[in-house]
């Protein structure tokens, strides 16, 4: 019973002016990461800071701020970490292209290993054929 009460306290309903504003709020909170949680959106997190940020986002929406202005406000406070889709900048190039570079490097290692084995197999066959003098063991 206490768990249900705690969950009800964590995600409290907001007094939205209309359904469009509620959808905008949901969309925005799904694009932002909880700074305390490992990999949860603000919409999904039950952490106290996520609740505070949801309330702050709601207040900023009531003040007439755009989604971009709200994101800039949060980035100024929590860095690009708060964005699930960080912008492509010199500091985030490795984040964007690192996995692809690792994948290509792994494919290169596999190709080199396959070619090396093929060459060794050809050389072994060639050496065995030239050393064959007709005698069987």
pLDDT tens for each residue of 73-107? 999 998 888 887 777 777 777 777 888 999 999 99
pTM to 2 decimals? 0.59
Q: Which of 85, 109, 108, 105 is nearest to 95 (CA)?
A: 85
Would you say 42 and 11 are in contact if contact means Cβ atoms under 8 Å apart?
no
Q: Which of 64, 51, 80 is nearest to 24 (CA)?
A: 64
The number of helices, as runs of H, and strands, as runs of E, in the chain is: 5, 0
pLDDT at 114: 92
Name the residue with tokens 């995600």: 11
The first and second tokens of residue 100, run together, are 């692809």
Average pLDDT, the chain: 81
**33 has which bridge partners?**
41
8-state DSSP, 87: -
Residues 18-40, mean pLDDT to the nearest whole number: 89
Listed by start position, the domains of the chain span 2-87, 91-130
CA-derived radius of gyration, the chain: 29
CATH topology of domain 2-87: Helicase, Ruva Protein; domain 3 (1.10.8)
């Amino acid at each position: 019973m206490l768990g249900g009460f705690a969950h009800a306290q964590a995600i409290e309903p907001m007094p939205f002016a209309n359904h469009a504003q509620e959808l905008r709020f949901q969309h925005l909170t799904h694009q932002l990461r909880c700074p305390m949680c490992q990999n949860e959106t603000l919409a999904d997190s039950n952490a106290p800071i996520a609740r505070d940020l949801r309330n702050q986002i709601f207040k900023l929406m009531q003040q007439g701020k755009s989604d971009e202005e709200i994101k800039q406000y949060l980035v100024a406070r929590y860095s690009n970490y708060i964005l699930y889709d960080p912008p492509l900048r010199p500091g985030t190039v490795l984040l964007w292209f690192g996995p692809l570079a690792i994948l290509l490097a792994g494919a290169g290692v596999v190709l080199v290993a396959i070619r090396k084995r093929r060459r060794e197999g050809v050389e072994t066959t060639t050496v065995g054929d030239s050393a064959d003098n007709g005698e069987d063991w």
